[in-house]
Amino acid sequence: MFRPADSEPAETLRVVREAMGTAVTMAFRSPVTDDLVDGAYARIEQIEASFSTFRPDSEISRISRGDLAESDASAEVQGVLQSCASLRVRTNGWFEFEPMDKDGRRLDPAGYVKGWAVEQAMDSLTASGIADVFISAGGDIVARSSSAPWRIGIQHPHDQTATAATLLISNEAVATSGLYERGAHIWGKTGSPIAGLLSVTVVGPELGIADAAATALFAAGDSLTPVLSRFPGYEALVITDNDEVRWTTGLSSKLASSAD
């Protein structure tokens, strides 16, 4: 989970609004108009209206009920579901967007959509020339910088006031999956809560993919290599249930030292 770093410049503008069931923070290091900020949040709300599993009128809910054929859904919904199906194969089934419940299989692409939605909001800002900005939605972050990197604190799962590690991120995405706030909502293939890990953070080029990879790695348990090897360009940091912090070799250059 993201923790705001204390060392960001005082002139950083932060805007926080509710969306997708969480607080979505946008931080800017340069001037930005209200219209651009409103447009970025509107893009997230547009995606939520199509993909929310809590809204009975969303396309995802209608497909799940059988009221809408997937082939008749919008091109955007079809594209996301195809991406989710590809990620399920890529993770050897650890990323699942069609879980079983008491009524049978249902569609729930949230493990990809939340990160993808944040990335879409970022695209709307950068297309308008905004170069130094990050967006955080819970544990999902995408950052852009033309100057100094953003400092992204990873909250320790056992202590909301502590930072387990600090990342220096310029033009990448960061997704964290774990049991910080929602309890045991991620399950392994056996249907049992995962043992061995408290959280998994993935860093890479695309937030939707990083989000799905973090979910898959957490569901797979304490084993980084088999899943992450299928995601070239992505690195990971894990916190184990004995409070050990470990990371892949490629992430070392992005970890802040006490001197940074």
Digitized pLDDT (tens) for each residue of the chain, 260 residues in all: 444 444 455 458 999 999 999 999 999 998 999 999 999 999 999 999 999 999 999 999 999 999 999 999 999 999 999 999 999 999 888 888 998 776 777 899 999 999 999 999 999 999 999 999 999 998 799 999 998 999 999 988 777 778 889 999 999 999 998 765 444 334 344 333 445 788 899 999 999 999 999 988 888 875 666 778 889 999 999 988 888 888 999 999 999 975 55
Q: Are 14 and 29 in contact (CB under 8 A)?
A: no
Dmax (CA) of the chain: 58
Nearest alpha-carbon partner for 135 in 60, 36, 232: 36
Q: Is 229 helix (H, G, I), strand (E, B) or coil?
A: coil
Q: Tell the residue number behind the tokens 């061995």, with chain if given.
A: 196
- How much is the pTM? 0.86
Helix or strand run (H / E) with residue 181: none
